[in-house]
Structure 1
């Protein structure tokens, strides 16, 4: 299966599932078709046997009537009628005899009785001595008939038994047909159970095939999704190895090539940033020193216009130096985020220290800081978290109006420690809640008492350090001010 593509594997799985279900349906259909044909054939045979039994009953009555009329009248046509009725009964006898051993025994008994009656009638047709007839007439004149023939008692019993045996044959036939119906119903029930088992087995097999195909196809898709997510989060250390169908394995190889390429580009970016930053610092230091010499009047007294120009140059040089240092700090934070020194850390004492460090800037702006809540011990890098909370609190103080309040609250949510930081400043536009963590991004709302604003580096460092702790940081919608939520795992 390693040489099959995704589409070929999917098609093969579908065909196998369809084949298993089709085999179960075809097997059940053949079995039920055979049972239906057997029931139809049995019903036709039952009708034929019923007709034969009815015909035999009618022939039995006709045989008895013909024999008794012949006994009394002695007409040869009556004997021939008896023989014709007996001949008509023979096909029905043969059909009933072939149905079952029980019916064969009853047919044999009926034949014996019919043969005895036929033999008696043949004896009646033979001429009798005259003296014997006269002697019989003299002994019992009332019993003599016009022909002088009298039925012996054994022949009378056999003649009466023809109808009785025909009735027994009908009863035996009904019993036989009932047994056949019950046997067919049993066969039908057995076939129904067999079809049910076949369908259940086919469903189990189809489910197993679907599960195997799903595992074979979806597992590499999940790994591809995870690999793309790691690429998007700049986690490039782990190689990408995708199994499954051939085309997905080729896609995994291309993703791993992309990972290596991104690793090279990231290394080049950091190297260029580091080199450029350092290369800029040297001429920038010379520029600042020259501006300071001009401003101090070392080369002569400056006119008011010239002093204004040197002031602008000094301010721009300081701003440029701050930007370079921020770039270096951002680069360093991305490197430090990958080397955490985890140890049990109590968040509440750590936050108290951060609040104490920011006490002077807050007092200068008249901002009140409120710290509340409790949180369990977490495994974290205390220095990195100190930087995170310092940046958040410094931003909250800088963006708060004079006399405003900053609140920091600790709590629990499921298996995470939650730290909320909110202020009463201008807040963040709804469409900027996610972009606010991008490096160098500045929102449209400016702080009320700060010209120029920050550089957009602090929140980017916050996200770097929190993601390194496998936590999350978000800017939440708020009716007043900005609201940041940090979540750290503690379980």
Structure 2
């Protein structure tokens, strides 16, 4: 694509400001030292806090599960003990009944002693069961069992033996019934304990769920907080580097966050001030040298004109040709010096916008009409595709942008070609495209096409090389409006797109 007569990446011109004090920021960098936490330490702290939150939830969950498991083991052990003691009481009751009946039939003292031993064992079993089943209803069954056992002992002392046997039968029947009731009570007690364990398990499950969700929420909150706190200064650093890359030195660099990022921000601020000073020196140098060159260049040009007019005497053909070449080159050099001065003026004034409602479509038509002689000389067609559109812009500066794009497109377009200017308004703002049918921009020139004074590899045949400042002015004015100017890929010719958002 053509290295259109334009260039960009404008830098705000620092017109004769006093050079910034570049040493103070660097002194602050050194004085800042290692105060506060570094980026790495902040990351470690964030990971530690998140790990503590998740680890605390996991530890609490483990404690809760261990507590439930302990209760389950205790309930299982208690159930086994109750079952064993109830069975033992039933066995002791059967042994007591057998010994009592044998004693009443055989009248053997050893059988009575065996009865007493079984009775004592039954009382010990009841004591163990009382500890395992402390419910009042169970205690009443134990009291009733004891009374029935006393009644059985009294029956063993009665005479005659036949009457004693008759008295024993209902007593032991009652004891067996009480044993069955104790078995039922034991089963109910075990069921209640099982239900209690299940209820505790459910409560712990809800507690663990809440802890896990809370830990996740805390971890996410910590992650977002630390991420925002750490990424915000990185974003500011990125913006600051972008501004420095675009030669925009008007905004100070202020970066917060961890200590190492703050030190980096101070270093960038020092660099900004240093670059601003250099830019100011460059601007003054270009302006002064341009003015210094204009006066002798005008004298040379005037002298060549006097020689050409024969003021110093008639010239031979060869002398006239030399004078013509001298005059043409001095005129070309003077135009380049004037272009340079014009660029400095436009660059310094491009950031000062005077926004007023402007009919952009009418502005496009007016710019095309002002350049009519230029594009008609090459038999070009210039088509304006613009619906009615009014926007708050600086009409004069936007006119400069459109004129530069159009002149650039005409310069590189072949004779009889077509140049299109397309206006597309939408809710976000407006887009203006300039499309020509020229040779386009060489791939290796694309990244530098907006650089000031850059001359591309592809030039218009037979045309004077441009100064390379037009496109830089175009992009600088577009950026001053909050927009941009880009070179879009195209199969043929150059396709420049200006995007300007609505004024806010």
Same fold by TM-score greater than 0.5: yes
* Deviations, residues 370-409 of structure 1 (Å, cap 9, x unaligned): 1123142111111111111111111222222222222212
- Of residues 325-334 and 217-226 in structure 1, the stretch that sits farther from structure 2 once superposed is 217-226
Equivalents in 2 of 1:404, 1:191: separation in Å?
82
- Of residues 467-476 and 298-307 in structure 1, the stretch that sits farther from structure 2 once superposed is 298-307
The reply on whether 1:426 has 2:439 as its aligned counterpart is yes
1:455 counterpart residue number: 467
Equivalents in 2 of 1:55, 1:266: separation in Å?
104
From 130, 138, 141, the equivalent of 1:103 is 138
From 222, 227, 231, the equivalent of 1:209 is 222
Equivalents in 1 of 2:173, 2:383: separation in Å?
122
Q: Which runs of 5+ in 1 are unaligned?
A: 134-147
1:13 counterpart residue number: 46
Equivalents in 2 of 1:309, 1:455: separation in Å?
25
From 299, 302, 310, the equivalent of 1:286 is 299
Equivalents in 1 of 2:443, 2:425: separation in Å?
26
Equivalents in 2 of 1:477, 1:19: separation in Å?
53
- Of residues 212-221 and 54-63 in structure 1, the stretch that sits farther from structure 2 once superposed is 212-221
From 82, 85, 98, the equivalent of 1:52 is 85
2:8 counterpart residue number: none
From 368, 381, 384, the equivalent of 2:397 is 384
Query: Is contact 1:46-1:177 (8 Å) kept?
Result: yes
2:415 counterpart residue number: 402
The reply on whether 1:81 has 2:114 as its aligned counterpart is yes
Query: Is contact 1:56-1:89 (8 Å) kept?
Result: yes
* Deviations, residues 97-148 of structure 1 (Å, cap 9, x unaligned): 1122333322222122122212322x15xxx7xxxx8xxxxxxxxxxxxxx5
Number of aligned residue pairs: give it: 468
**1:79–1:50 distance in 2 versus 1, CA, 3 Å:** same
Equivalents in 2 of 1:250, 1:313: separation in Å?
57
In the TM superposition, 1:107-122 aligns within 5 A as 107-121=142-156
In the TM superposition, 1:72-471 aligns within 5 A as 72-99=105-132, 100-101=134-135, 102-121=137-156, 123-124=157-158, 149-151=162-164, 154-448=167-461, 450-471=462-483
Query: Is contact 1:71-1:150 (8 Å) kept?
Result: no
> Alignment partner of 2:163: what SS?
coil
Q: Aligned-residue CA RMSD in angstroms?
A: 2.1
Q: TM-score if structure 2 supplies the norm length?
A: 0.87
Q: Which runs of 5+ in 2 are unaligned?
A: 1-33
1:69 counterpart residue number: 102
- Of residues 101-110 and 340-349 in structure 1, the stretch that sits farther from structure 2 once superposed is 101-110
Aligned-residue offset at 1:50: 0.3
Equivalents in 2 of 1:417, 1:444: separation in Å?
32
Aligned-residue offset at 1:478: 1.8
Aligned-residue offset at 1:8: 1.7
Higher relative contact order (CA closer than 8 Å, sequence separation 6+): 2
Equivalents in 1 of 2:147, 2:333: separation in Å?
133
- Of residues 109-118 and 260-269 in structure 1, the stretch that sits farther from structure 2 once superposed is 109-118
1:479 counterpart residue number: 491
Query: Greater CA radius of gyration, 1 or 2?
Result: 1
Query: Is contact 2:417-2:437 (8 Å) kept?
Result: yes
